């Protein structure tokens, strides 16, 4: 699914099996956000095929947080692909999986602040709550916000998993709501398009879901 020039969403639609949405930024460097489960890697492969790319052409893989449905295939791209996630969530994954993880160590860590990859200028926001080191990615030039499992269309991320915190999630979402975003690209479910719809979505979450955090 083409979202706008240079941005594609590989939206996960199966109701019987869980996987994340993956997003592809087609800049001077090819960026893949949240590659998903290992046994469902064909989802990314097919999505890239539709835009004429093989996974080996990806330059950077950015992972919003350390849950397997987002992370597992971080190391499954070509030898030139560099992958990254937050140090907090990486340490958390190691703590849980130890040497059982089959994922190679990240090439770099995502930390709060600017991140330029080729001609794509992103901002990394540390947004804990769903996981201790969740990050969201904001692309100011296109006013696109990639939210991982922090916030969805009409819903919010779970806080009952290890390292989750309702208080932190609330603070993280409040921070995201301040950004000037025309498109919200969440880790699961529908993409929210249009500035007013993004605003409405944050308002609905504040009015309804914040009562449960
Ligand atoms: Zn998650």
17-48 pLDDT per residue, tens: 999 999 999 999 999 999 999 999 999 999 99
C-beta of residue 16 within 8 angstroms of C-beta of residue 109: no
**Per-residue pLDDT averaged across 181-191, rounded?**
98
What are the boundaries of each domain within the chain? 2-212
Q: Which residues have beta carbons under 5 A from ligand 1 (an ion)?
A: 67, 149
Tell me the CA–centroid distance for residue 36 and ligand 1, in Å. 11
Q: Quote the DSSP letter at residue 126.
A: E
Tell me the CA–centroid distance for residue 156 and ligand 1, in Å. 11
The stretches of the chain forming alpha helices (DSSP H) are 42-50, 68-71, 87-97, 166-177, 195-207
Tell me the CA–centroid distance for residue 73 and ligand 1, in Å. 15
Tell me the CA–centroid distance for residue 109 and ligand 1, in Å. 18
Tell me the CA–centroid distance for residue 130 and ligand 1, in Å. 7
Tell me the CA–centroid distance for residue 184 and ligand 1, in Å. 17
- What pLDDT does 95 receive? 87
Burial of 71 (0-12, 13-18, 19+ CB in 10 A): buried
Tell me the CA–centroid distance for residue 67 and ligand 1, in Å. 5
Burial of 201 (0-12, 13-18, 19+ CB in 10 A): buried
Tell me the CA–centroid distance for residue 28 and ligand 1, in Å. 29
* Phi, then psi, of 108 in degrees rounded to 5: -160, 170
Tell me the CA–centroid distance for residue 3 and ligand 1, in Å. 23
Q: Which two tokens stand for residue 32?
A: 């893949």
**Per-residue pLDDT averaged across 82-110, rounded?**
89
Tell me the CA–centroid distance for residue 49 and ligand 1, in Å. 26
Tell me the CA–centroid distance for residue 78 and ligand 1, in Å. 25
**Per-residue pLDDT averaged across 200-208, rounded?**
97
Query: What fold characterizes domain 2-212?
Result: Metallo-beta-lactamase; Chain A (3.60.15)
pLDDT tens figures, 69-85: 999 999 999 999 999 99
Tell me the CA–centroid distance for residue 68 and ligand 1, in Å. 8
Tell me the CA–centroid distance for residue 149 and ligand 1, in Å. 5
Sign, CA dihedral 97-98-99-102, equals positive
Average pLDDT of every residue of the chain:
96
pLDDT tens figures, 101-160: 778 999 999 999 999 999 999 999 999 999 999 999 999 999 999 999 999 999 999 999
Read off the pTM: 0.96
110 beta partners: none
C-beta of residue 106 within 8 angstroms of C-beta of residue 84: yes
pLDDT at 100 over 80: no
Q: How many residues does the chain have?
A: 213
């Amino acid at each position: 699914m083409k979202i706008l020039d240079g941005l594609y969403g590989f939206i996960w639609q199966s109701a019987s099996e869980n996987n994340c949405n993956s997003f592809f930024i087609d800049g001077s460097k090819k960026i893949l956000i949240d590659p998903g489960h290992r046994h469902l890697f064909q989802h990314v492969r097919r999505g890239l095929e539709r835009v004429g790319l093989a996974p080996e052409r990806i330059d950077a893989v950015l992972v919003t947080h350390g849950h397997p449905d987002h992370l597992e295939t971080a190391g499954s791209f070509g030898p030139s692909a560099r992958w990254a996630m937050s140090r907090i969530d990486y340490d958390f994954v190691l703590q849980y999986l130890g040497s059982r993880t089959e994922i190679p160590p990240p090439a770099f860590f995502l930390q709060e602040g600017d991140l330029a990859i080729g001609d794509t200028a992103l901002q990394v926001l540390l947004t804990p709550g769903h996981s201790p080191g969740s990050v969201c990615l904001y692309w100011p030039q296109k006013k696109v916000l990639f939210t991982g499992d922090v916030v969805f269309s009409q819903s919010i991320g779970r806080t009952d998993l290890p390292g989750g915190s309702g208080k932190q999630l609330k603070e993280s979402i409040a921070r995201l709501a301040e950004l000037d975003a025309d498109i919200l690209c969440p880790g699961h479910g529908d993409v929210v398009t249009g500035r007013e719809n993004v605003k409405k979505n944050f308002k609905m979450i504040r009015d309804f879901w914040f009562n449960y955090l």
